[in-house]
Amino acid sequence: MTNGKRVKAQAAEEKTVQTADGAPEKYFVVDTSALEYGMDVFEKLRQGGRNCVLIPYATWEELDSHKTGNDFKADIARSVIRNVRNLFRVKDRSVRFFSYDFSAAKDADLKIDKNDHCIIATALYARQKLPAEKVILVTQDAALETLALNFGMDVQSVKMDETEVKQQHTPRTTVNLQKKWIADKTFPLKLPEARLAAQLGRILLNEGIVCYCERDGAWGPAFAAVRKGDYFRIVDKDIHLLGVRPRSNNGDVNWGQYIAMDLLRDTSVPLVALTGKAGTAKTFLALLAAFEQASRYRQILVSRATIQLGNKDRLGYSPGDIDAKMKPWMHPIHDNINAIKELVDEKMKDKINEWLTNGKIEMMDLDKIRGRSIQKCFVIVDEIQNLPPSHVKAIATRGGEGTKMVFTGDFSHDQIDVPWLDERSNGLSVLNAKMAGSR
DSSP assignment of 150-167? HTT-EEE---TTHHHHTS
* Residues 139 and 235 grouped into a single domain: no
The number of folded domains in the chain is: 3
Residues 6+ apart with CB under 8 A from 59: 30, 31, 32, 35, 115, 119
Tell me what pLDDT residue 101 has: 75
Q: Is beta strand 299-304 parallel, antiparallel or unpaired with respect to 231-234?
A: unpaired
* Residues 183 and 152 grouped into a single domain: no
- Is the pLDDT at 202 greater than 50, yes or no? yes
Tell me what pLDDT residue 294 has: 98
Gap between the Cα atoms of 366 and 307, Å rounded = 12
* Residues 98 and 73 grouped into a single domain: yes
Q: Decide if 260 is inside a domain.
A: no
Phi, psi of 230 (to 5 degrees): -95, 20
Give the pLDDT mean for 298-309. Answer: 78
Domain hosting residue 213, numbered range? 161-239
Q: Decide if 129 is inside a domain.
A: yes
Q: What is the pLDDT of residues 335-367, one digit of tens each?
A: 999 999 999 999 999 999 999 999 999 998 887
Tell me what pLDDT residue 135 has: 96
* Band of pLDDT at residue 105, cut at 50, 70 and 90: low
Q: What is the pLDDT of residues 37-77, one digit of tens each?
A: 777 888 889 888 899 999 999 999 999 998 887 777 788 88
CA distances to 62, 67, 412, 427 from 383, rounded to whole Å, are 27, 25, 11, 10
Q: Decide if 307 is inside a domain.
A: yes
pTM of the model: 0.77
Q: Decide if 245 is inside a domain.
A: no
Give the pLDDT mean for 219-239. Answer: 90
Q: Decide if 258 is inside a domain.
A: no
Task: Compute how many other C-beta atoms are within 10 angstroms of the C-beta atom of residue 219.
Answer: 12
* Residues 9 and 107 grouped into a single domain: yes
* Residues 136 and 173 grouped into a single domain: no
Q: What is the CATH number of the domain that holds 41?
A: 3.40.50.1010
Give the pLDDT mean for 86-94. Answer: 90
* Residues 122 and 185 grouped into a single domain: no
Give the pLDDT mean for 248-265. Answer: 89
Terminal CA-to-CA distance of the chain, rounded, Å? 49
Q: Decide if 382 is inside a domain.
A: yes
* Residues 321 and 235 grouped into a single domain: no
Tell me what pLDDT residue 35 has: 85
* Residues 273 and 322 grouped into a single domain: yes
* Residues 341 and 357 grouped into a single domain: yes
- Yes or no: say if 259 and 211 are a contact pair by the CB < 8 Å rule: no
Q: What is the CATH number of the domain that holds 287?
A: 3.40.50
Q: What is the CATH number of the domain that holds 232?
A: 2.40.240
* Residues 33 and 116 grouped into a single domain: yes
* Residues 289 and 350 grouped into a single domain: yes
Q: Decide if 205 is inside a domain.
A: yes
* Residues 136 and 220 grouped into a single domain: no
- Yes or no: say if 140 and 33 are a contact pair by the CB < 8 Å rule: yes
| Domain end call among 160, 193, 217 | 160
- Is the pLDDT at 20 greater than 50, yes or no? no
